[in-house]
Structure 1
Amino acid sequence: MAFQHILVPIDGSETAYAAFDKAAEFAKAFNSKITLVQVLTLDPYIAAEYITAAQTNQLIERARSSILKTLAEATDRLSAQGVHVDTQLLEGQVIYTEIIKAAKNLNADLIVIGSHGRTGLKKFFLGSVAQSILGETDIPVLVVRK
């Protein structure tokens, strides 16, 4: 099976970079395109005016700038390896939902995501985006543990 379009959610962590390094290997092997995504989570209380009235919010704008910087750095790193890369900054309240929605909209045929490998109480309290994606999508998912 050849993968033509690989979606890679990133967050600037070493775990995310391990996932996108693996995605780069796949992209080179299958001549695939990679789309890097990062989700700007919008707290409905903080972002209510931003969402409904297109108002600016300093906290949101700082987060947006940070995410765009992370996406640019990741793009440079992959482009240096000769991999075609697109990026998207996603906005929403639930990270894994936005990632799945983006994968479907982009017709991605593989999601490559990093996982910290938390277990027990840490997993219960911190959740697992990778686990949620695995449970909610029919698109193949490769989980890379650091």
Structure 2
Amino acid sequence: MKKIIIPIDFSEHSEYALKTAAKLAEKHNAELLALHMLEMSDIMLSTTDGIQNQKTMFFLQLAEQKFKDFLNKDYLNDVKVTPIIKHFKVFSEVNDVAKKYDADLVVMGSHGTNGFTEYFVGSNTERVVRNSNLPVLVVKNDMMDVNFNVVAFACDFSEESINSYLKAKEMFGKQGAKVYLIHVNLPNERFKSSLEIEKKVVNFFAKADSNLDKMEDVFYVSDYTIENGVLNCANKIGADLILVPTHGRKGLAHFFQGSIGEDVANHATLPVMTFKI
């Protein structure tokens, strides 16, 4: 991990993200790419009117100064920080920045009250996750520790989840973390027998790893909802982080086949990292 993008909107939660990213940067000797996206219209930026031009320059300079002041933190003294300002709030531009600077991770702060949909929908975080091709680490609080030694990967063991699994395995394998996979078996029409689940898991690892060594790191959980199963199991195994694959097409309420549940991150005391399928 060499470069980390932190979208900044000057909120309390974006500072949580900045602090977390700074700790990760110190740990991995990485560079921080602090990204602020202005809400400037085409008219303001392309106008030839003198007074309008002056207003535009004033707002640009004001935003740049506010950004500079926001990044003036003691905890950033020993971290390389590259400030980046985009004139439009276009969240797909996170991918452009990632490609230009060869970034590895996006870190964002967010808050929640009553479920995963309310936690993200309409927020900058939801839009970044939806558009980002990079893994996105979402934090809600001021994290004291970024040592993710035990990681819980929520998985339905579909073939389309293989790529996310391999990315997660590579990222956290390098850090010496133990990655466990959690499969939640639901009642009613989504219920599967133990034999059906095991066949699916065997097929998954055979294609992903060409071996079945990780079978011993799979937890099978029966619960009424996926979110409850994931959270209960993550707490039981002492996980430091929950990983979730996402399609990114309809936001974080649609992670993989079906929905992982709207309350996962909101009810979790743990940070959540998403991987694009």
Normalising to structure 1: TM-score of the pair? 0.78
Output the CA distance in 2 between the equivalents of 1:14 and 1:102: 23
Output the CA distance in 1 between the equivalents of 2:47 and 2:57: 16
Asked if 1:142 is matched to 2:142, the reply is: no
Output the amino acid matched with 1:60.
Answer: T
Output the CA distance in 2 between the equivalents of 1:79 and 1:68: 20
Aligned-residue Cα RMSD (Å) equals 2.7
In the other structure, the counterpart of 2:104 is: 109
Normalising to structure 2: TM-score of the pair? 0.44
Output the CA distance in 2 between the equivalents of 1:31 and 1:84: 9
Q: How much does 1:52 deviate?
A: 6.6
Asked if 1:85 is matched to 2:113, the reply is: no
Corresponding residue to 2:18 among 17, 20, 32: 20
In the other structure, the counterpart of 1:64 is: 60
SS of the residue aligned with 1:22? helix
In the other structure, the counterpart of 2:206 is: none
Structure-2 change in CA distance of 1:114 and 1:131 (3 Å): same
Q: How much does 1:39 deviate?
A: 0.7
Query: Would the aligned equivalents of 1:39 and 1:98 in 2 still touch at CA under 8 Å?
Result: no
Structure-2 change in CA distance of 1:136 and 1:75 (3 Å): same
In the other structure, the counterpart of 2:8 is: 10
Greater helix content: 1
Query: Would the aligned equivalents of 1:114 and 1:143 in 2 still touch at CA under 8 Å?
Result: yes
Output the CA distance in 2 between the equivalents of 1:64 and 1:77: 22
Greater displacement, 14-23 / 74-83 = 74-83
Structure-2 change in CA distance of 1:104 and 1:57 (3 Å): same
Output the amino acid matched with 1:40.
Answer: L
Query: Would the aligned equivalents of 2:22 and 2:75 in 1 still touch at CA under 8 Å?
Result: no
Query: Would the aligned equivalents of 1:109 and 1:140 in 2 still touch at CA under 8 Å?
Result: yes
In the other structure, the counterpart of 1:40 is: 38
In the other structure, the counterpart of 1:131 is: 126
Greater displacement, 65-74 / 101-110 = 65-74
Query: Would the aligned equivalents of 2:22 and 2:76 in 1 still touch at CA under 8 Å?
Result: no
Output the amino acid matched with 1:6.
Answer: I
The answer for unaligned runs of 5 or more in structure 2 is 142-277
Output the CA distance in 2 between the equivalents of 1:137 and 1:80: 25
Query: Would the aligned equivalents of 2:25 and 2:79 in 1 still touch at CA under 8 Å?
Result: yes
Query: Would the aligned equivalents of 2:39 and 2:87 in 1 still touch at CA under 8 Å?
Result: yes
Greater displacement, 73-82 / 22-31 = 73-82
The answer for unaligned runs of 5 or more in structure 1 is none
Larger radius of gyration: 2
Q: How much does 1:99 deviate?
A: 2.7
In the other structure, the counterpart of 1:51 is: 46
Output the CA distance in 2 between the equivalents of 1:122 and 1:137: 18
Greater displacement, 26-35 / 63-72 = 63-72
Larger relative contact order (Cα-Cα within 8 Å, sequence gap ≥ 6):
1
